[in-house]
Homo-oligomer: A and B are copies of this chain.
């Protein structure tokens, strides 16, 4: 069994509306020194595979098929034995 951690980030050139909303909200609360807010996703799951290579490969496939949007997002994943 392996634990997978995937960070899915919108590409830098693509506007992040949620980040912009947080920046504005922060300003309204008096935090004037906060900039460049980006909101990304961290997805964790367990995968039952024979080897770390197989786990990595399957997790990669799942990211490409379901978790990440290949048009505007990039992802990086890490595998740990549990």
Contacts and interface: CB of A to CB of B under 8 A. Distances in A.
Interface of A: 7, 19, 22-23, 25-26, 29, 31, 33-49, 58, 62, 65-67
A62 B34 contact: yes
Stoichiometry (number of copies): 2
21 contacts: A22-B67, A23-B45, A31-B62, A33-B48, A33-B49, A33-B58, A34-B62, A35-B45, A35-B46, A35-B48, A36-B44, A36-B45, A36-B46, A37-B43, A37-B44, A37-B45, A39-B42, A39-B43, A40-B43, A40-B44, A42-B42
A51 to B, nearest CB: 13
A17 to B, nearest CB: 14
